[in-house]
Amino acid sequence: MDCMLRMLPMSSNSNVVALGWSTLPKIFVARKSLGVSCSDLQCGFGYGGSRLNSSSLAFANFLSSRTSRFAAAANSRASSSLQQNQAMLDQQESTSLLSRDRRRREEEVDEVVAETGVVIIGAGLSGLAAARHCAKEGVPFVLLESSDGVGGRVRTDVCQGFLLDRGFQIFISAYPEASEVLDYAALDLKEFYAGALVWLDGEFHRVADPFRHFTDGVASLGNPIGTAMDKVLVGIVRLRASLKPISAILLSSEETTILERLGKEGFSQQMVDRFFRPFFGGIFFDRELQTTSRLFEFVFKCLALGSNTLPAAGIGAIPQQLADQLPAGSILLNSRVAELIEDEDGILRSAALQNGKVFRAKYGMLIATEGPEAARLLGSRITDTSASSPSSSSAAAASSSSSSSITKPPRSTVCLYFAADSTPINEPVLLLNGSKEGIVNNMFFPSTVAPSYAPPGKTLVSISLVGQLYSNYSDPELEQQVRKELHSWFGAAVVDSWQHLRTYRIANAQPDQTPPTNLQKQPRVDQGVYVCGDHRDSSTFDGALVSGRRAVQALLADCRVIAA
Ligand SMILES: Cc1cc2nc3c(=O)[nH]c(=O)nc-3n(C[C@H](O)[C@H](O)[C@H](O)COP(=O)(O)OP(=O)(O)OC[C@H]3O[C@@H](n4cnc5c(N)ncnc54)[C@H](O)[C@@H]3O)c2cc1C
């Protein structure tokens, strides 16, 4: 590594070692001992190296004063701990023990402060979108992720050769932001049938999008999943939604619940209970259909304009594609931010990891975690939910309801996976429970949509329960309950031959999105502090991507104002 180390005085007890690059980031280490090598300092930022120059020296001096608070705290902790330990060591006669102990104590007081342009916390879709935008704008950043991989809630595990998405997830190809940001061809998107099979009264009934499957649509007019008028209404609502601009939908002043909206549109109770309840209940983990009508319209529009799909390599391929485009080494995994730290002027500028490392942001901190974690990190700072464009009375109501989307209990879901030797329904179609019985809401055979989800000759079965975690059941009890219920769907012999692979219980699947909502909250919550994530926009893949971009745009706009 082409680098040069230089010592700068920081305090009587410690020194600062500055590792200079011609571009950010610069890394500063406050430590008692100076046995530092370049490898100690590898934080993986992926920007080119060069020799320390005068501006980085000036910058080092600047940071040295800024970091005095961390250093003072570290030094005071260090000196008190050193005094205590020194007294203890004096009593020990063994010099080898003594030197070993000293080394250990010196390691304990190490505190690493790395500075970059923007510190992004959380590598879900919103954090990745923010990172992508920073990279595009040439803004240096580091992306800190607590878990062992990118994607947040959008991840895929491999189990016995099967691809298991962490919960039932569908990618709608017409998501507007996603279509700008992602390379669909590389994702190799595989399409679902545009419709569903609804389980009712001991048999499956087909519901089809007449614009895609005209014959099926006409044939389904007389089935018991709603009246013929309901099916005509679906066409009308679909057309209306497809013509409405997204902004008009997401900021619509006519906000109510999905349930009320369906009633106002004139849908029969039958259609609501047999089709919309399991369908939108499965999308929003909300069989009561209390989610905002804005999202009903948004999803309806996207479904009208695009297709339900799965990437061939699993849903996790979506965040992975974004991560692959970022500068090498800019993402730090297994790096949980324990707390945010204020500078002396009261402005949050640093994030401290559990291991003691501190990352300082020159331009701003961007919190891209789930809502409850953002609330933990930011405390009272995250109360501003005001709309970017306060065009509706509902937005004002949402504003006054403070951080409701992060304080209301989130939506939960459970997803069970099984391996089968064959598929009872050999088409890429979603199966909905249109009956009022049982706990299964929806299911499908992912390998009929994308054969890569199962090893050759095998079938993957995915079953979803929504609205709660079914904590009163153990995993084996839940598996048995689901099998029992599906005996009537496919026959006991078929269902009992399935091999259980895994059960995912996802407590925080989506934030509560009951009205009043504000689906375009201000990213900036304090000076230099920006929040993104599906609790700031809509809780969809698209909403998370939009919020990441909006947060960086807000940050850059503020920086430009300051610079001007
Ligand atoms: C089962 C399921 C099914 C879904 N289905 C769909 C669907 O079909 N269509 C759709 O559009 N949307 C769907 N969604 C919603 C969509 O996945 C989310 O809205 C979106 O992925 C949220 O992204 P995010 O970046 O806001 O948050 P997250 O994905 O939650 O990312 C937050 C990240 O922050 C990290 N983090 C948290 N705390 C810290 C910390 N202290 N330090 C460092 N890192 C931290 C987390 O590990 C995580 O990686 C589904 C969600 C689930 C759970």
Cα 261 to averaged position of ligand 1 atoms, centre (Å): 27
Report the distance separating Cα 85 and Cα 103, nearest Å: 12
Cα(188) to centroid(ligand 1), Å: 22
**What does the block give as tokens for 79?**
């000196």
Question: pLDDT tens, position by position, for the chain (564 residues)?
Answer: 322 222 222 222 222 222 222 233 333 333 322 222 222 223 333 333 322 233 333 333 333 333 333 333 333 333 444 344 444 444 444 444 445 554 544 444 345 689 999 999 999 999 999 999 999 999 999 999 999 999 999 999 999 999 999 999 999 999 999 999 999 999 999 999 999 999 999 999 999 998 899 999 999 999 999 999 999 999 999 899 899 999 999 998 889 999 999 999 999 999 999 999 999 999 999 999 999 999 999 999 999 999 999 999 999 999 999 999 999 999 999 999 999 999 999 999 999 999 999 999 999 999 999 999 999 999 989 874 433 443 444 444 444 444 456 678 899 999 999 999 999 999 999 999 999 999 999 999 999 999 999 999 999 999 999 999 999 999 999 999 999 999 999 999 999 999 999 999 999 999 999 999 999 999 999 999 999 999 999 999 999 999 999 999 999 999 987 777
Please give the pLDDT value at position 263: 97
Is the peptide bond prior to 511 cis by the omega test (within 30 degrees of 0)?
no
- The ligand 1 atom nearest the CA atom of 370: 30
The helix/strand count (H/E) of the chain reads as: 21, 23
Reported residue count of the chain is 564
Mutate to test the pocket of ligand 1, among 168, 369, 521, 546 (most ligand atoms within 8 A of CB): 369
Query: From ligand 1's centre to the CA of 470, what distance in Å?
Result: 21
pLDDT given for residue 100 in this prediction: 52
Question: Which residues contact ligand 1 via a Cβ below 6 A?
Answer: 121-127, 144-147, 152-154, 167-170, 336-337, 368-370, 373, 413, 506, 509-510, 533-534, 539-541, 544
Provide DSSP, 439-456. S--EEE-HHHH-GGGS-T
Q: Please report the atom of ligand 1 found closest to the CA of residue 377.
A: 41
The pLDDT assigned to 405 comes to 65
Cis bond upstream, residue 278 (ω within 30): no
Same fold, 141-152+316-384+522-563 and 156-221+307-315+411-510: no
| Residue to probe by mutation, ligand 1, list 173, 296, 382, 541, most atoms within 8 Å of CB | 541
Cα–Cα dist 40/113, whole Å: 12
Count of CA atoms in the C-beta half-sphere (13 A) of 420:
24
CB 459 within 8 A of CB 448: yes
Q: Which of 276, 142, 132 is nearest to 196 (CA)?
A: 276
Q: Does domain 141-152+316-384+522-563 have CATH number 3.20.20.140?
A: no
Distance between CA atoms of residues 63 and 25, nearest Å: 12
Domain residue limits, the chain: 5-109, 141-152+316-384+522-563, 156-221+307-315+411-510
pLDDT at 382 (0 to 100):
87
> How much distance in Å is there from the Cα of 541 to the middle of ligand 1?
8
Ligand 1 atom closest to 336 (CA): 42
**Token pair in block for residue 178:** 């996603």
CA of residue 324 to ligand 1 center, whole Å:
18
As a whole number of angstroms, the distance between CA 371 and CA 369 comes to 6
Q: pTM of the prediction? A: 0.82
The residue whose CA is least distant from atom 48 of ligand 1 is: 152
Please name the fold of domain 156-221+307-315+411-510. Polyamine Oxidase; Chain A, domain 2 (3.90.660)
Which of 169, 462, 532 for mutating ligand 1's site (highest number of atoms within 8 Å of CB)?
169
* CA–centroid distance, residue 364 to ligand 1 (Å): 22
Alpha carbon 547 to its chain centroid, in Å, reads 11
Q: How many angstroms is it from 8 CA to the middle of ligand 1?
A: 42
Scanning the structure block, which residue is given the tokens 């640093």?
A: 350
Q: Are 311 and 125 in contact (CB under 8 A)?
A: no
**For residue 125, how far is its CA from the centre of ligand 1 (angstroms)?**
7
267 C-alpha to ligand 1 centroid (Å): 33
d(CA 208, CA 426): 17
Q: Rounded distance, CA 252 to CA 542, Å?
A: 18
Atom of ligand 1 nearest to the CA of 335: 43
pLDDT score of 111: 55
Q: Are 99 and 142 in contact (CB under 8 A)?
A: no
Q: Please check whether residue 305 is in contact with residue 176, taking contact to mean a CB–CB distance below 8 angstroms.
A: no
Closest residue CA from atom 12 of ligand 1: 540
Residue pair 161/455 in contact (Cβ under 8 Å)? The answer is yes
Residues whose CB falls within 8 Å of the CB of residue 533, separated by 6 or more in sequence, listed in order:
122, 124, 126, 127, 367, 368, 369, 370, 371, 374, 544, 547
